[in-house]
Amino acid sequence: MKLGFNFTLGGTYPLVCEMARAGEMDFCELLVDNFLQIPPAELAEAFPCPVAFHIMFSRFLENEQSALEALAERLRDYIAVMRPLYVSDHIATFSHEGRQLYHLAEVDYATAYPAVRARVQWWQELLGTRVHLENYPSIMAGGRDAPAFFERLAADTGCGVLFDVSNAVCAWRNCGVALADWQPVIASASHFHVAGYGESILAPKLTLDTHDTDLAPDTLGWLHDLRAQIDAPGHTLTYERDSDIEPDAVRAELRRLRTLLGADADASPVAIQTANHAPAQH
């Protein structure tokens, strides 16, 4: 398994390079659509480690076809030159009736399946590669349909699932989606995300995927439970942090993940945390 860190903006470039050269991370997950003004060969030269691609704003489920064709044409060049470990994107709602959402929404799994399946197939054809799609950090009870939706989508389209462990923890805390419900998805996943989460300002408290803090005990507990499935040849785990990026804290989290998922994992004290943490009931 390769352990990685996400790279979204230039400010953390020195940190990413230092950690890669020091062996603190094995690859860099690049938010590739932030860097499309940099020629592919130049971007490829910039990283002293393998890269993976995370596409943030394709909005491939709802964007106009012509815009997606133009974006895919450019992304194919980066894929050909940089040969990423994987290409990933998001199953989420980015707008409503033409108005942009600044906090992305969850698709309606009960009704959206035919349209999503068709778009996933088309987007993979446009990009010329398998795409790994990230699960949403569910807030509302509709999130309970997510595991079966992603399992069916992967089976029907050949897409992968970029299984975000902490997003699944958010869904568990907010609407009680059990880890066991995700097991068929996890069993076929090769690429994983994990990040810190926060709480809503107002009560009743919601758990929000904030990417601004250290990993929570229950997330580490889930990781420990899943370590045999995550730590396998060809697999990756990316620690995501997008704000409050303090280098020592990032390094400490990567070391903690390395230890948790490596040979010493059985000794980890965080393994007991899940049993003591009940999800919220709505």
Partner 1 sequence: MHQPSIDAELLPALAVPDLQRTLPRESAAFVRVDTSLRTYWHTLFDVCPELLTLADPDGLRIFQPFMAWAAAERLTMNWTFYIWAYRWLCQSEFADRLPDGLAQSMLAASAARWATVDRGRHAGIVLTDACAALPTLVVGWKCDRVDGARRVERIGLEEPLDAPPGRFGHFLVPGFSLDTFPGWMAIPR
Residue 21 or 205: which CB sits closer to partner 1? 205
Residue ranges of E strands in the chain: 2-7, 27-31, 51-54, 87-90, 93-96, 99-105, 131-134, 160-164, 191-195, 198-199, 207-208, 236-240
Instruction: Please give the Cα distance from 28 to 237 (Å, whole number).
Output: 10
Residue 71 or 220: which CB sits closer to partner 1? 71
CB of 105 to partner 1, least distance (A): 5
CA neighbours closer than 13 Å in the CB half-sphere of residue 262: 9
**270 Cβ contact partners less than 8 Å away, ≥ 6 residues apart:** 217, 220, 221, 224, 260
SS3 state at 244: coil
234 Ramachandran zone, left/alpha/beta (phi>0; psi -120 to 50)? left
Instruction: Please give the Cα distance from 263 to 248 (Å, whole number).
Output: 23
Residue 51 or 271: which CB sits closer to partner 1? 51
CB of 51 to partner 1, least distance (A): 11
Among 215, 223, 153, 220, smallest CA distance to 188 is for 153
CB of 257 to partner 1, least distance (A): 25
Q: Which amino acid is at 235?
A: H
CB of 142 to partner 1, least distance (A): 3
Residue 34 or 188: which CB sits closer to partner 1? 34
**Which residues form the interface with partner 1 (CB under 8 A)?**
9-11, 13-14, 33-38, 42-43, 46, 57-58, 67, 70-71, 74, 93, 95-103, 105-108, 110-111, 138-143, 174, 200-206, 208, 282
CB of 100 to partner 1, least distance (A): 4
CB of 96 to partner 1, least distance (A): 4
CB of 177 to partner 1, least distance (A): 13
Q: Per the structure block, which two tokens stand in for 237? A: 């785990």
Residue 35 or 163: which CB sits closer to partner 1? 35
Residue 38 or 155: which CB sits closer to partner 1? 38
Residue 38 or 232: which CB sits closer to partner 1? 38
Burial class (CB in 10 A: 0-12, 13-18, 19+), 116: buried
**8 Cβ contact partners less than 8 Å away, ≥ 6 residues apart:** 31, 34, 242
Q: Which amino acid is at 250?
A: V
